[in-house]
Amino acid sequence: MAVKIRLTRTGKKKAPSYRIVVADVRSPRDGRVIERIGWYNPLVEPSAIHVDEEKALHWLKNGAQPTESVASLLKRAGVLARFEAMKAAAPVQA
């Protein structure tokens, strides 16, 4: 089962906000999700991002692939840098 970390849209018409979720690749954008790991509100200045780092790191370690937009959000929140540091510190197994 391929798993992605992606955005689902919430909010009113012309006033979007998004949830950062872990979902199967085959499920629709606003369809069934495995777990919610955060939210993103682009309408406030500066845009608000909240990510549960432990859950995000757990899913990244287990092979979940973030979409481009979620990858940029995780980068801004500092989660991707922490994940890369964990990968670099882990011993390489043959």
The 10s digit of each residue's pLDDT in 72-88 is: 999 999 999 999 888 88
The 10s digit of each residue's pLDDT in 18-76 is: 999 999 999 988 889 999 999 999 999 999 999 999 999 999 999 999 999 999 999 99
> What are the start-end ranges of the H helices in the chain?
53-61, 68-77, 79-89
Structure tokens at 42: 């682009």
Domains and CATH numbers, the chain: 3-89 (3.30.1320.10)
Helix 79-89, helix 53-61: angle, nearest 10: 50
Whole-model pTM: value is 0.86
Cβ 69 vs Cβ 7: under 8 Å: yes
Q: Using CA atoms, how far apart are residues 79 and 40, in angstroms rounded to an integer?
A: 14
Residue 94, pLDDT score: 58
